[in-house]
Structure 1
Amino acid sequence: MNKKIVIRKKATFIFILFFGFNNLVQSQQVNDFWSHVRFGGGIGLGFGNGFFSGTLAPSAIYEFNETVALGLGLNGTINNRKGFYKSTIYGGSVIGLVNVIPELQLSTEFEELRVNRKYDAVYNLQDDNYWSPALFLGLGYRSGSVTFGIRYDVLYDEEKSIYADPWMPFVRFYF
């Protein structure tokens, strides 16, 4: 066999082996990435005397290890107080979680929400359209994929916050 042909075959074999191995490693890295991603979020419903509130807040976190996770979330809320106002609220958040021990979770979450509130004409109030930031520091008890706890909004503004109080209980889940 010609020496050039042998060299070409060896080079082709090495080329295929290298890129095949590289693709295998990359696909394992992608699969390894997704094995650390957890999806979850929250659902909220509130009813009262002529009042309705519904919230959908999906989120995803990446667990770097058993102690630290970082993620992103979306939030969409509709509020309606019959005969007074209707509001649509939407936005996103960045969340960091630290599991001091498996059962104890510290959290920090920065949330930025757009508030669009329309008042009924009877009240002669100007409609609201503004951004509402919140920075939550939380402490929770974690059991499996569910965490129960309380969080505090350090940026709470009584006039602009969409929440009634800076202290809020929470239930967080990730699967």
Structure 2
Amino acid sequence: MKSKIIGILLLTFLAFSFSGNTQENQNQFWKNVRYGGGLGLNFGNGFFGATIAPSAIYQFNNHIALGVGLNATFNNQKDVYKTTVLGGSIIGLYNIIPEIQLSGEFEQLNVSRRYDIRLNTEDDNYWSPALFLGAGFRSGNIIFGVRYNVLHDSNKSIYLDPWAPFVRFFF
């Protein structure tokens, strides 16, 4: 059900992006679209992790932006497990003043974890929702701050803690 909601919202955003009858309206739309996202790379003592998370937002005015994002993550702990995480998010941004930004982000991720057969543990495959509320400091195209997952479930969340620092880039 939740994946259908995300799909409908993504389609609505895409339909909105192609609405308008004139070339001028379409050009104006794309002038207000900003792209960004994040990359992650983790490694250490038998562990490897990589994340790519592109996103796009539509800047309605100097204060409000709304957008979508994708997330693809792969983790491997040697001789223990391999995890693939795929999903998407909807993000809303509000700049109180140019330097202070509040954010809300609903994220829905599918987690597929395969354990080493020698561990005699059943594999996992489940959906992990998150609703982040955050605040950050903005300097140009870079925003850094902290966000809190109000739906955090320590048994199912892919995040260890509901609090998470972030750095966002939009160009």
TM-score interval (norm. to shorter): 0.7 to 0.9
- The equivalent residue for 1:62 is 58
CA displacement at 1:101 relative to structure 2: 0.4
CA distance in structure 2 between the aligned counterparts of 1:73 and 1:149, rounded to whole angstroms: 18
Is residue 2:131 matched to residue 1:113? no
State whether structure 2 residue 60 is matched by structure 1 residue 75. no
User: Scaled by the length of structure 2, what TM-score is found?
Assistant: 0.87
* Equivalent in the alignment of 2:18: none
Kindly provide the CA deviation profile for residues 109-141 of structure 1, in whole angstroms up to 9, marking residues without a partner as x: 000000000000111111000000000000000
Q: Using the alignment, how far apart are the partners of 2:61 and 2:75 within structure 1?
A: 38
1:75 is displaced (CA, Å) by 0.2
Q: Which amino acid aligns with 2:129?
A: P
Residue 164 (structure 1) shift: 1.1
Which of these residues, 28, 41, 45, is aligned with residue 45 of structure 1?
41
In structure 1, stretches of 5+ residues that fail to align are: 1-24
Question: Identity, % of aligned pairs?
Answer: 64
Counterpart Cα distance in 2 of 1:46 and 1:129: 22
How many residue pairs get aligned? The number is: 151
Residue by residue, what CA displacement relative to the aligned partner does 1:20-65 show, whole Å, maximum 9, x if unpaired?
A: xxxxx71111000000000000001111211111000000000000
Structure 1 counterpart of 2:111, one-letter code: V
Distance 1:161 1:83 in 2: 22
The equivalent position to 1:170 in structure 2, one of 157, 166, 171, is: 166
Which whole-Å CA distance do the structure 1 matches of 2:59 and 2:84 have between them? 32
Pairwise mapping of residues 77-92 of structure 1 onto structure 2 (< 5 A)? Answer: 77-92=73-88
Distance in 2 separating the partners of 1:101 and 1:34: 24
4+ long deviations beyond 3 Å: none
| Other-structure match for 1:30 | 26
Q: Secondary structure at the match of 2:22?
A: helix
1:153 and 1:52 mapped to 2: Cα distance? 25
Amino acid at match of 2:85: I
Partners of 1:85 and 1:101 lie apart in 2 by 45
RMSD of aligned residue pairs (Cα, Å) = 0.8
Deviation at 1:89, TM superposition (A): 0.4
SS of 1:163's equivalent in the other structure is coil
Q: Secondary structure at the match of 2:145?
A: strand
TM-score, scaled to structure 1: 0.85
